[in-house]
Amino acid sequence: MKKTLLGLCTVAALTLTACSSGPDSGAEADEPTEITVFAAASLTEVFEDIADEFKAADENAPDVKFSFAGSSDLVSQISEGAPADVVATADEKTMKTLKSDDLLAGDTEMFASNTLTLAVADGNPKAIKSSEDFTGNDLVVCAPQVPCGAATQKWAELNDVALDPVSEENSVTDVLGKVSAGQADAGIVYVTDIARADGEVEQVELDGADKVINKYPAATVKASENQKQADAFVKFLGSDTAQKLLRDAGFAAG
């Protein structure tokens, strides 16, 4: 009898252990270990820092993997079914495209804003002081379908400036790269790009740039299989911690 009871107890203990360690033992077993965030190129450095703080704030938070590109490219990729959990664009227009196509879940979080400025080569060898000096110098801008390009066109129209760029790039980081590499004399970028250029370029203010401000929205992608975690990251962008990092990087409030 003792052996029988011992055997039953052993079986029961083993069964309990198996149940407690199985896939249905709790929500944590099903928590994703990683989410993918599609973000505008101008957010590259600051989003890496925000992701570190997001993880530090909650030991159960997933790691964050990024795909940075021009906002229009991000929209195209998500529209074509690219796997993403969160998307953050550099203007409202690109996000509205995803919203109108029913590709987003819930509301968007307006977490930052940015303003245009002019990047010139280190030392400003061409002595470019304003848009009046564009003539005769190689100017690079973002393509019209990219948020910084759309903002550039709007700025030019509002200030009656004729643009004759030598190239139009698909992301603001490409514009900055052309200037810092000496392949262009000047490029219209965001103020945050100057801040992250580590002294490789100099800033020349654009008169009237404050009339054209890009607001940055973020949202959870409807096709995401990690909605809860994606929502948490989007919400975190509005936290004091994330907002301080954004301000330190040169962004203004959304």
What's the CA gap between 180 and 182, in Å, rounded?
5
Distance CA(24)–CA(28), nearest Å, equals 9
d(CA 185, CA 87): 33
Tell me whether residue 42 is annotated as binding. yes
Report whether 118 contacts 188 (CB < 8 A): yes
| Euclidean distance between CA atoms 199 and 202, whole angstroms | 7
Structure tokens at 98: 């995803």
- Is residue 64 part of an annotated ligand binding site? no
CA distance 146 to 170: 6
Is 172 annotated in a binding site? The answer is yes
Contacts from 101-105 at CB under 8 Å and sequence distance 24+?
A: 102/222, 103/78, 103/79, 103/221, 103/222, 103/223, 104/219, 104/220, 104/221, 104/222, 105/219, 105/220, 105/221, 105/222, 105/224, 105/227, 105/230, 105/231
Residues in the chain: 254
Q: Any binding-site annotation on 239?
A: no
- Binding site for molybdate, by residue number, is 42, 71, 172, 190
- Binding site, by residue number, is 42, 71, 172, 190
